[in-house]
Chain A
């Protein structure tokens, strides 16, 4: 476990970086090793990344596993938008791409990969989606960050970093593939000058938090 870097305050005093690029690389190395160890060499393993950032992480883990253990694990992308439980209240969302891994999911050990584990609702949706695609031997979960506040009985098998947060903070994961840099940072809840605005923003962010999913909360989300 790499040592926690000192929290760095950005010039705005808002963004608190908790994992640097080197930390992210080390964490992914570790998860790759853990996957190899826990799955006895990585045979029959299929990594399923949840777009957008989970898909990039899945690709990186597959590369690392191939380097460390010389096995080619299956790799796929699973968009879970159509399985979400909040489509009625959150409105239209564009769909991400789904790439079924070669050889399908039947009898495989599927490892879901996502960037942040929060309420657990994304994972629930992913489990439903997997059921429609095939019947894996088992399903496990790997996440870069576990920030707590689960709303469902779900836990991760591989965790990059446990990050205690308050519910109205946001966790911002940046990856080179889509953000140009690797890092994990905490964005504090917006601060107001008086109590009324504080409560107002808190309620707002609560509302947008409802069902999870820091991925979708990223302010710079572009897809």
Chain B
């Protein structure tokens, strides 16, 4: 079994399916139970090392670790020695000295998790690094698709996934393209040309600038957040124009097939990339379910990484 989860690329088809199947089993085993707790990771320590703000990912990892009975330490850049200028390396060595079995890291610099693997002995899980990757988000997205599409058979081969918006700054898009490709789905990226990264030709996916043309026949539409905080230049003329051309509103939802899913990794800019009424539409939107599924998938990842290491 693998030791770290830094990129969706770390998962070959066999591992990816193993994680998703394990998550489904965990879901089934815990649903309907009063005591939602398993003794699996008793005595192990999981550190949440968050250099960037996060609501759902951090709480989701915390809940996942606690449901498996691990001890959880939350460590955010604010209110720690980081605000006094401590380097990532020194922080890592401190965690190492405390004996962390797994470090869940979110950092604004791409590649920080990989760097961290050189300084800590435990497993490292990437919870989002800069504009690089966010593999557990891709896993929970795939898990959500598996639950709803193809009658729950779990096979995503040939499923058509349209990913719309700020691909350039999106670690979610990168991880999703990699994982969905591993699982055999067909991915279409839709974005204004200014928000597409260089080197896109090498990605295993199609690219389009026209959202309306890609919606009919899509099984999943995944809207990406417009990441204002990472934008150092102007990438489109105005929010209104972006919303007109690439926002998912009611008229565009009408183009979708009956079974199509609307997803969003959150947090949403309602009215910008997605209309409020679309986000709350129970016929297509599975956005809140994505959050629920995040816990199961992260439990599966922790179980897989932490039970696998043996001396």
Known contacts A83-B39, A132-B33, A132-B37: A93-B25 contact under CB 8 Å: no
Bound complex: CA of A95 vs CA of B303, how far in Å? 11
Chain B residues positioned under 8 Å from A82 (CB to CB): 26, 29, 38-40, 68, 303
B214 at interface by CB-CB < 8 Å:
no
Contact of B29 among A88, A89, A90, A95 (CB under 8 A): A95
Residues of chain A within 8 A of B310, CB atoms compared: 88-91
Q: Are A133 and B33 interface neighbours, CB within 8 A?
A: yes
Q: Are B26 and A88 in contact (CB under 8 A)?
A: no
Cβ-defined contact, B1 with A92, below 8 A: yes
CB of B22 within 8 A of chain A? Answer: yes
Q: Is B216 an interface residue (CB 8 A)?
A: no
Contact present for B307 and A79 (CB under 8 Å): no
Q: Verify if B155 is at the interface (C-beta below 8 Å from A).
A: no
Are the CB atoms of A96 and B307 closer together than 8 Å?
A: no
| A22 on the B face (CB < 8 A) | no
A90 to B33, CA, bound (A): 28
Which residues of A, 18-37, contact B by the 8 Å Cβ criterion?
Answer: none
Contacts of B37 in A (CB 8 A): 132
A95 touches B22 (CB 8 A): yes
Is residue A98 within 8 Å, beta carbon to beta carbon, of the partner chain?
A: yes
Q: Could you tell me if A95 and B25 are in contact, using CB atoms closer than 8 angstroms?
A: yes
Q: Give 1 or 0 for each of B20-39: 1 = CB within 8 Å of chain A CB.
A: 01100110110011010111
**Chain B 14-56 interface residues, beta-carbon cutoff 8 Å to A:** 18, 21-22, 25-26, 28-29, 32-33, 35, 37-40
Given contacts A82-B39, A87-B40, A92-B1, contact A98 B308 (CB under 8 A): no
Given contacts A92-B307, A94-B18, A94-B21, contact A128 B39 (CB under 8 A): yes
The chain A residues found within 8 Å of chain B, CB to CB, are 79, 82-83, 87-98, 100, 128, 132-133
Nearest 3 CB-CB pairings of A with B: A95-B25, A87-B307, A92-B1
Chain B positions within 8 Å of A, measured between CB atoms, are: 1, 18, 21-22, 25-26, 28-29, 32-33, 35, 37-40, 68, 303-304, 307-311
**19 A-B pairs with C-beta separation under 8 A:** A79-B25, A82-B29, A82-B39, A82-B40, A83-B38, A87-B40, A88-B307, A89-B311, A91-B1, A91-B308, A92-B1, A93-B307, A94-B21, A95-B25, A95-B29, A97-B28, A132-B37, A132-B38, A133-B33
